[in-house]
Chain A
Amino acid sequence: MWLGLWLAVLGLGVGIMVGLNIPLILPHAYAKYLSVAALAALDSVLGGIRAAMEDHFDNEIFISGFFSNALLAAGLAFIGERLGIDLYLAAVVAFGVRLFNNIAIIRRHLLKK
C-alpha cells in the first residue's frame, strides 16, 4: 500500500518534470481535447483510489478505464467539434460530476477511519 503511494507520487513527479521540460506545446486547437482527456484521467485516478479504499480495486479495470476514458473523452470532444455539438461540455459535466462523487466518497472513507 505504502509502496503504491510512493510509486504514485514518484510517477506524478516524473510526469510533471517531463511535462514541464518537454519542448512541445500543443496547438491551442487541441488544448480543449487534452483538457477533457486530463479531466477523464483525473476522474479515473480518483475512481481507482476510491476502489482501493473500498477494497475492490481491479488493476485491469483501472488501467483500461484510465486510458479509454481519456481517449473517449477527447474523441467525443473532437467529434462534437466536427459536428458542431459541444460534446466536450457533456464530457466535462459527466466527468466533473463523477469526480466530485468520487471525492465525496473518498472523503467519507477517510473520515470513517
Chain B
Amino acid sequence: MNKPIYVSILLVAVSLGLMLTLQYRTTSSVEQGVAYGREQELTVEKLQLEKELAHLLDESTDLSAKLEEAGKGYSEAAVAFESELSKIKLYAGLVPVEGPGVEVVLENLPDSTPDRSPKLISIKDYDLLHVVNELRGAGAEAIAINNQRLLATSEIRLAGNHIVVNMVNISAPYRVIAIGNATTLKSSLVIKGGPAEILNERGIAVNVTIKEKILIPAFTGGLRFDYATTT
C-alpha cells in the first residue's frame, strides 16, 4: 500500500524539480534572446517595413519606367546628334555632295603668238581665286578645283609652276566645279567685266557649262587645329 505512494512522490518530485529548473533556465536565458514584448514590437516593425518595401518597390518600377523613357529620349537625342553631325559635315565639306551647278574649265590658249611667253599667259593663283570668289559670291554651296574640295581653310597659292590647293599640286587645265543655282553661278562668271572676260583678254580660255548633276568629292586631307580651341 505504501510503496506506490513513495514511487509517486518520488516521480512527482523529480518532475516538479525538472520543470521548475527548466523553466528557470529558459526564463533566465531569455535575457540573451528576445524579450516577449519585443517580439510583438518587432512584428509590428516588420509589418511596417514590409509595407514600406512594397511602397518602395512600386516606386522602383515607376522610376525604372521613367528611366526607360529617359533612355528613349537619349536615343532620340542620339539620332538628333547624328543628323546634326551629318549636317555639320555637309557644311564643312567632309562628305561628297551632288547637285546642279556649273563646271568651269580654265585652260591656256594654244600659243598662237610666239611673242607671248608661256609664263605670261599661264593661269595664276589669283585667277582661280577670282573665279572661286565670284562663285562664292553667287551662292555656290560646294566648290572643288581639280577634285580638291575647297574648305574654309583651303588655300589656293602659286608654288613654282604649280598651283597648290589643299597642299596638293594641281596643273592646267583647271576644272572648277561648283554646286548652286547654275544660272546665277554662270552669269556671275560670264557677266561683262567678270572674270571670264578678264581672263579671256589675257589669253585664257574660260569654258563655263551648266550641269544638271555634279558630284563634288569630299575633302580627303587631314584636318588639324593646333591653336584654335572652342571658347
**Residue ranges of A at the interface with B (Cβ–Cβ < 8 Å):** 3-4, 7-20, 22, 24-26, 28, 30-31, 34-35, 37-38, 41-42, 44-45, 48, 57, 59, 62-63, 66, 70
Known: A4-B9, A15-B17, A45-B12. 20 other contacts (CB 8 A): A7-B6, A7-B10, A8-B10, A10-B13, A11-B13, A12-B16, A15-B15, A15-B20, A16-B21, A19-B21, A19-B24, A19-B25, A24-B22, A31-B30, A35-B27, A38-B19, A38-B23, A59-B5, A59-B8, A63-B12
How many pairs of residues, A versus B, come closer than 8 Å at their CB atoms? Answer: 112
Interface of A (DSSP majority class): helix
Cα-based distance from A13 to B12 in the complex (angstroms): 12
* Cα(A25)–Cα(B5), bound, Å: 31
Residues of B within 8 A of A (CB): 4-6, 8-27, 29-30, 33-34, 36
- The answer on a CB contact under 8 Å between B18 and A19 is yes
With known contacts A15-B21, A31-B30, A62–B8 Cβ distance under 8 A: yes
Which A residues are CB-close (under 8 A) to B23? Answer: 31, 34-35, 38
Task: Collect the chain B residues with CB atoms within 8 Å of residue A44's CB.
Answer: 12
